[in-house]
Structure 1
Amino acid sequence: MTDPPSPAALILADSRFPGGGHVHSGGLEQAVSQGLVSGLDDLAGFLAGRLRTAGRLAAVFAAAAAHAAARRVRPAHWVALDAELDARTPTPAQRAASRAQGRGTARAALVAWPSPVLADLLAVTPRPHHAVLVGAVHGSTGGNAGQAALTTAYLAVSGPASAAVRLLGLDPFAVNAVLARLGPALTELAAEAARTAADRPADLPAPSSPALDLLAEAHDRHHQQEVRLFAS
Structure 2
Amino acid sequence: MRAGLALLALADARFPGGGHVHSGGVEEAASRGLITSVADLREFLFGRLHGAGALQAVFAAAAAHAAARGVRAEHWAELDVELDARTPSPAQREASRAQGRGAIRAGRAAWPSQALTELVAAVPRPHHPIVLGVLAATAGSGPREAALTAGYLAVSGPSSAGVRLLGLDPFAVNAVVAELAGDLDGIADDAAAVAGLAPADLPAPGAPALDLLAESHDRHHKEEVRLFAS
What TM-score range do you get, normalising by the shorter chain?
over 0.9
Is the 8 Å Cα contact of residues 5 and 147 (structure 1) preserved in structure 2? no
Residue 50 (structure 1) aligned to one of 24, 33, 48: 48
Q: Alignment identity in percent?
A: 64
Which residue of structure 1 lines up, in the alignment, with residue 74 of structure 2?
76
2:13 aligned partner: 15
Structure 1 unmatched runs, 5+? none
Which residue of structure 2 aligns with residue 157 of structure 1? 155
Q: Does structure 2 conserve the Cα–Cα contact (< 8 Å) formed by 1:72 and 1:117?
A: yes
Question: Is structure 2 residue 136 aligned with structure 1 residue 138?
Answer: yes
Q: TM-score, normalised by structure 2?
A: 0.98
Aligned twin of 1:124: 122
- Give the stretch that moved more between structures: 69-78 or 214-223: 69-78
Please provide the CA RMSD for this pair: 1.2
Q: 2:37 aligns with which of 26, 36, 39?
A: 39
Q: Is 2:59–2:129's contact at 8 Å kept on the other side of the alignment?
A: yes
Q: Matched residues in 2 for 1:106 and 1:198: separation?
A: 23
Contact kept, 8 Å, 1:6 with 1:147, in 2: the verdict is no
TM-score computed with the length of structure 1 as normaliser: 0.97
For the residues of structure 2 that align with 1:50 and 1:5, how far apart are their CA atoms?
27
What residue number does 2:198 align with? Answer: 200
Cα distance in 1 for partners of 2:3, 2:109 equals 21
Aligned residues: 230
Give the structure 2 partner of residue 113 of structure 1: 111
User: How many angstroms apart in 1 are the aligned matches of 2:3 and 2:148?
Assistant: 9
Q: Contact conserved, 1:60 with 1:197, CA < 8 A, in 2?
A: yes
1:6 partner SS: helix
**How far apart, in 2, do the equivalents of 1:140 and 1:112 lie?**
10
C-alpha distance in 2 between matches for 1:177 and 1:208: 26
Distance 2:2 2:27 in 1: 34
Change (3 A) 1:16 1:44: same
- After superposition, residues 217-228 of structure 1 pair within 5 angstroms as 217-228=215-226
TM-fit CA distance, 1:125: 1.0
Report whether the alignment pairs 1:85 with 2:86. no
Range 149-158 or range 121-130, more displaced: 121-130
Alpha-carbon separation, structure 1, partners of 2:99 and 2:27: 17
Structure 1 residues 53-82: Cα deviation after superposition (integer angstroms, max 9, x where no partner): 000000000000000000111111000000
Question: Deviation at 1:6?
Answer: 2.2
CA–CA separation in structure 2 for the residues paired with 1:112 and 1:86? 27
- In 2, distance between residues paired with 1:122 and 1:86? 16
Label 1:109 to 1:5 Cα distance change in 2 as closer, same or farther (>3 A).
Answer: closer
Gaps of 5+ in 2: none
Question: Counterparts of 1:180-199 in structure 2 under 5 Å?
Answer: 180-199=178-197
Letter of the 2:73 counterpart: P
Q: Per-residue deviation at 1:91?
A: 1.1
Looking at structure 2, the residues matched to 125 and 86 of structure 1 have their Cα atoms a distance apart, in angstroms, of 12
